[in-house]
Amino acid sequence: MQDSWLELIDRVLRPARPQREQCLRERDRHQAATELVADERARAIKSCEARIEAARKAVFQANDGVIPSLMTELEREWRKISRSDPDQGLMDLWARIAPPAWIDRKLWRDSDSTAKLDAAVALASDVDGVEAAESAIAALRGALAAWGTPIGQRIRWRAFERDVDCVSVWLATPERAARESVAAHYAEHVIFERAQQLEQSVRTAALTRLPGRPALAEALARAAIVDYTLRASALDLPNPVTPLRALWKTGYALSALDASGVTLEIPEL
């Protein structure tokens, strides 16, 4: 079992992303086109403002109290060309790089504005991995519900924000039940000793592989001890660590888990 956990740790935060290079090329095209559009828009705004200023001077010089329709038209033009696209053309890029089934699923929308472009590219470069991660979340939702701890349906994808262990608290109930079951049916000191050894091995390996992520390392270690104890118990309930392992195997990790839904971390490109 230890070997399977050590192999899993090597996969955490390392999505496969088989379409990475293709998506990066499309990102470069998008950025070049965005810069061109921005330059053209800046010139158009400058031209419109110059014409507005000339029209104002003409009104002042006429000094007859009449505001010509040209002023209204120029102001409407200025408002139109000054209104920026909040997504900066990301919809067009997404249509090029995302699979058809994702066109109406803007998975990058929950990321911060400065991270949306890279989020879109990262997700589109790993379609199978993203879908496998979402399937794992669905299985996790079902497993936790069986333990009386429901989580929301919504799945958010966000670029990494902070190191966090949002797993241990949700595993407390199955861990407690598993320990009680083991204590009632087996020579628990042997099982608990082996479980703790596995926990420490996983924690050490995770800290070595992910030195800047102690909270994630703790989540992995906690999941390992819960998994071992549940497998050794006589309980007939879903093991929530199984879908967690499936999630981590895809290269993604949880950054939030609560009644409103789940947030998945998008590792850097």
Main-chain phi, psi angles of 173, to 5 degrees = -65, -50
pLDDT at position 217 = 97
pLDDT at position 85 = 65
pLDDT at position 186 = 65
Give 154's strand partners. Answer: 261
Cα separation of 15 and 128, whole Å?
10
User: Are 254 and 247 spatial neighbours (Cβ–Cβ below 8 Å)?
Assistant: yes
Cα separation of 18 and 25, whole Å?
13
User: Are 216 and 163 spatial neighbours (Cβ–Cβ below 8 Å)?
Assistant: yes
Cα separation of 33 and 24, whole Å?
14
Q: What is the C-alpha radius of gyration for the chain, rounded to an integer number of angstroms?
A: 27
pLDDT at position 63 = 75
Q: Which of 122, 97, 112, 93 lies closest to 32 in space, CA to CA?
A: 93
Of the CA atoms within 13 Å of residue 86, those in its CB half-sphere come to 3
pLDDT at position 87 = 67
pLDDT at position 89 = 81
Whole-model pTM: value is: 0.84
* CA angle at 122 for the pair 118 and 125, rounded to the nearest 5°: 140
pLDDT at position 184 = 80
pLDDT at position 3 = 87
Which H helix or E strand runs over 160?
A: none
Cα separation of 82 and 214, whole Å?
46
Q: What is the pLDDT of residues 9-34, one digit of tens each?
A: 999 999 999 999 999 999 999 999 88
Both tokens of 83, joined, read: 């209104």
Largest CA distance in the chain: 101
- Residues of the chain scoring pLDDT < 70: 1, 65-67, 85-88, 161, 186-188
pLDDT at position 231 = 93
Main-chain phi, psi angles of 165, to 5 degrees = -110, 100
User: Are 209 and 10 spatial neighbours (Cβ–Cβ below 8 Å)?
Assistant: yes
pLDDT at position 187 = 65
pLDDT at position 223 = 97
Which residue blocks in the chain are alpha helix, DSSP H? 2-9, 20-62, 69-82, 90-97, 116-124, 127-146, 168-185, 188-209, 214-232, 241-249
